[in-house]
Amino acid sequence: MKKFIGLLKLEFKRIFSNSVLMAIFFGAPIGYGILFGYVYQQAKVKDLPIVIVDQDQSPATDKIIDAFEDNEGLHVKDVRPVPGNIKSEMPSNQYIAVITLPNGFEKDLLQKKHPEVRVDLNMANILNANTASNQINTVLMTINAGIEIEGLKKQGLHPDQAMASYESFKINFNKLYNSTGNYVTFMLPGLLAAIMQQIIFLAMALVFSRDFEDGYFGKLVKESKSSIYHILLKATPFLLMLPFMWLIISLLLSFFNVGVDILNLPMLVLTTLLTFASMFIGMLFSIAIPSQLKATELLMVISTPAFILSGFTWPTSAIPELITNVAHFIPVTQYLSGFRKVAFYGGDLASIGPEIRVLVGIIIVAIVAMAVLLQVKINRLAKISNNQLD
C-alpha cells in the first residue's frame, strides 16, 4: 500500500506538470460554463430587427406598426414608404424580416377585399427566423381578429356576440417542464455534460500514451506486472479530482438559475456512470494508441459531434439509423437522455433503467478491453526486459 501511495504521488506530480492538461481539465468546464451561461442568459430571443415597408401610410397601417413596436420579441428597426434596396441591406443590418403593407391596404380592408401583408423572412438563421415568424404571426392574427370583431360590432352585434361569432373555440396552451421557454435551462446542462465528457476523454487519453512516449511505463512495470494495478493507479487521481469539477458544474447551473432538479440519487448515478464510461474509453484509447497526439485526435473525432448526435437538440428520429446506432454508444448520448427524464420529467432510477444498462455495458466492455490490452503490453515489455538481461 505504501508503494502504491508513493506512485500515486508521482502520478499527481506528472499530471500537474502538464500545463496543457491542467488548462483543459480545470479551465474548459469553468470557462465554457461561464461563457455559455452568459450567451444564453437572456433566456429568450428578443428584439429581432425587422423593417416595415408602409406603402399605404394610413391609420390602419399605423395601428399595425404600433402593435409590432409593442412586441418584445421584435424590434422595428426602420419604417419606410418604399422598400429601397432592402436585399442588399439585409446581410449587413441582419434584418430578420421585412413586412410590406401594400398601397390601398386600409381601403381594401373597408371594402372586404382581403389585402395581403407580405412577410419576407431571412432564413439564414432558422432559429431566429422561426421565432420571428411566430411573433409576426401572433401580431398579425391579433390585429386581424380585432378588425373582424370591430366589423361585426359595426353591424350591430353586441361586443360579446361579436367575439363569440369570430371565435368558434378558444385555444389555451399550457407549457410544461420549461414553461418560460428559457434557453439557459434548455441548453446549458447539455452543453456542460458534453464538455465534461470531452475533457475527461482528453485527460485520460494522455495517462498511458505519455508514459509510453517518455519511457516511464517501463519503470512502472518493474513495480507491478498487473494491468488492474496500473489502471487503478492512473484512474485514482482523476477519481479524486472529478467530483470537484462536477461540483463546479452544479454551482454554475445554480448561478445561472437553471430551473431543473439535479440534486437527487438518479442524477448522481447518471453522473457517476458518465464519468466512469468517459474515463475508461479515454484510457482504452491511451493504451491502444501509444501517441498522445493521435490518441487525443481520435477522441476528438468522437467527442466533437457527440452533442449534436445525442438527440438533445435535434430529434434522433430525424437522424439516419446507422448514425444513431453509433451515437447510442457514446456515453453523453445516454447521459443526456437520462438527464431529461430526471431533471425535466422528475423520473426515478427505474425510468432511466435503459440508459443505466447501456452505460454499465460501456464501462464493462472498456474495462475488459483495456485490462487485456494493457496486460499484453506489460507481458511483452517484461519479456523484452528478460531477453535483454539474458
Give the number of other Cβ atoms within 10 Å of residue 5's Cβ: 9
Mean pLDDT of 235-239: 92
Residues in the chain, overall count: 390
The secondary structure of 115-167 as a DSSP string is ---EEEE-TTSHHHHHHHHHHHHHHHHHHHHHHHHHHHHHTT--HHHHHHHH-
Please state, in angstroms and as integers, the Cα–Cα distance from residue 214 to each residue in 210, 250, 290, 337, following that order. Answer: 6, 37, 10, 40
Mean pLDDT of 96-112: 86
pLDDT one-digit tens code per residue, 173-186: 666 677 667 778 88
For residue 202, pLDDT over 80 is answered with: yes
The model's confidence at residue 219, banded by pLDDT at 50, 70 and 90, is confident
Closest CA to 362 of 249, 274, 242: 274
Cα–Cα distance measured from residue 21 to residue 309, given in angstroms and rounded to the nearest whole number: 26
Mean pLDDT of 71-76: 88
**pTM for the whole structure:** 0.78
What does the radius of gyration of the chain's CA atoms come to, in whole angstroms? 30
Out of 185-199, 262-276, 288-302, give the one with best mean pLDDT. 262-276
Average pLDDT, rounded, for the chain: 83
For residue 169, pLDDT over 50 is answered with: no
pLDDT one-digit tens code per residue, 137-166: 888 887 877 766 666 566 666 666 656 655
Q: 372 or 305, which is more confident?
A: 372
SS3 state at 328:
coil
Cell numbers found for residue 337: 437522455
SS3 state at 75:
strand
The pLDDT, as a whole number, for residue 275 is 95
Give the number of other Cβ atoms within 10 Å of residue 96's Cβ: 27
The model's confidence at residue 358, banded by pLDDT at 50, 70 and 90, is very high
Angle between helices 126-154 and 159-166 (to 10 degrees): 130
Q: 308 or 79, which is more confident?
A: 79
The model's confidence at residue 2, banded by pLDDT at 50, 70 and 90, is confident
The model's confidence at residue 170, banded by pLDDT at 50, 70 and 90, is low
SS3 state at 273:
helix
For residue 359, pLDDT over 70 is answered with: yes
What residues does 119 pair with on adjacent strands? 99
Closest CA to 200 of 69, 70, 335, 4: 335
The pLDDT, as a whole number, for residue 15 is 80
Cell numbers found for residue 261: 432538479
The pLDDT, as a whole number, for residue 31 is 83
Residue 74 has what DSSP assignment? E
The pLDDT, as a whole number, for residue 364 is 96
